[in-house]
Amino acid sequence: MGLEGLPGVDQVIPISRPYKLASSELSHHEPTVFDVDGRRVGGGQTFCLIAGLCTVESPEQTLGVARAVAAAGASMLRGGAFKPRTSPFSFQGLGREGLRILADARAEVGLPIVSEMTSAQLADDFAEAVDVVQVGARNMQNYGLLEVAGKLGKPVLLKRGLSSTLEELLQAADYVLKEGNERVILCERGIRTFDTAMRFTLDLGAVPWLKLHTHLPVIVDPSHASGDRRLVGPLSRAAAAAGADGIIVEVAVDPDVALCDGPQQLYAADFARFAAEVAAHARLLGKKLA
């Protein structure tokens, strides 16, 4: 907004932003900060490192990566049990069995669980099994699902739609917030552009823009954005340097045999070094790993 830079203008209070509850101007002045099982999200002191599988395939595969990321200082464990696949003929995830495997991994390594809820009918299962309910890019504008997620009483990780504007993302967040759930994490995960060199185009400008316009914490998913593990390190460090509150990355002990998204998954054996490099960039902004 050009008025903000004019001489004599101390503060501009817009009344016409389409997102009401997510806006930093109208409803909140302080950034939203909350804990997930003792891990601080938002607030500028901590950096949240969410890491783990694309898709849960077995207890051994899940425990293997859970141990590796926990040992390297990850804040939370990710893993898909219900997968939103482009084709109905692709592996759809283990479903409820996958949620049980994740719960066992949490019991073993002590990391809170992040997993995607693809349908409102699964609300009870997710309320019981996970610590953070993810709403995926393809469901960002599934408003019924957002309302149900908002009522669960769990933090919601809301990913930006594949072709959604940031204003649409914040209005989607309003659907969760209006249910009285303040604990929303926004996630930039790459958008569709004319460029097909990478899987999606990571919009890093979204991080400082969202920081200006909303009080909600903002994280970045460089794995789905790039589709290429070789780019995940640089993009993760860039996200930390741009002021993100965290990242969510895919890691596996053996990505070469993964049924989904193998090429973008970090090798668990490389994860400790990756985490240390990202943490060093977060430290430059005064943040330590949550």
Contact (CB, 8 A) for 99 and 63 = no
Number of residues in the chain: 290
- Closest contact distance (angstroms) between CB of 176 and ligand PEP is 16
CB-nearer residue toward Mn ion: 114 or 282? 114
282 contributes a contact to Mn ion by CB under 5 A: no
Q: Please, is 30 exposed, middle or buried when counting C-beta atoms within 10 Å of its C-beta (0-12, 13-18, 19+)?
A: exposed
Residue 205: CB atoms within 10 Å: 11
Cα–Cα distance between 267 and 68 in angstroms, integer?
Answer: 10
Residue 174 touches which of ligand PEP, Mn ion, none (Cβ within 5-8 Å per kind): none
Residue 108: CB atoms within 10 Å: 14
Residue closest to Mn ion, measured at CB: 54
- Closest contact distance (angstroms) between CB of 170 and ligand PEP is 17
Identify which of 131, 114, 113, 133 has the alpha carbon closest to the alpha carbon of residue 123.
133
CB-nearer residue toward ligand PEP: 94 or 137? 137
- Closest contact distance (angstroms) between CB of 83 and Mn ion is 8
- Closest contact distance (angstroms) between CB of 224 and Mn ion is 6
Tell me which of 166, 261, 271, 287 binds Mn ion, using CB under 5 A: 261
Cα–Cα distance between 258 and 70 in angstroms, integer?
Answer: 20
- Phi first, then psi, for residue 193 (nearest 5°) are -135, -175
Give the residues lining the site for ligand PEP (CB under 6 A): 54, 80, 84, 116, 136-138, 159, 189, 221, 224
CB-nearer residue toward Mn ion: 111 or 260? 260
Q: Please, is 270 exposed, middle or buried when counting C-beta atoms within 10 Å of its C-beta (0-12, 13-18, 19+)?
A: middle
Please identify, among the stretches 20-28, 54-62, 126-134, 225-233, the one whose residues bind Mn ion according to the rule CB under 5 A. 54-62
Please name the helix (run of DSSP H) or strand (run of DSSP E) that holds residue 76, with its range, or none: strand 76-80
Tell me which of 41, 50, 53, 54 binds Mn ion, using CB under 5 A: 54
Residue 159 touches which of ligand PEP, Mn ion, none (Cβ within 5-8 Å per kind): ligand PEP
Residue closest to ligand PEP, measured at CB: 136
Cα–Cα distance between 142 and 160 in angstroms, integer?
Answer: 12
Please identify, among the stretches 95-103, 130-138, 211-219, 254-262, the one whose residues bind Mn ion according to the rule CB under 5 A. 254-262
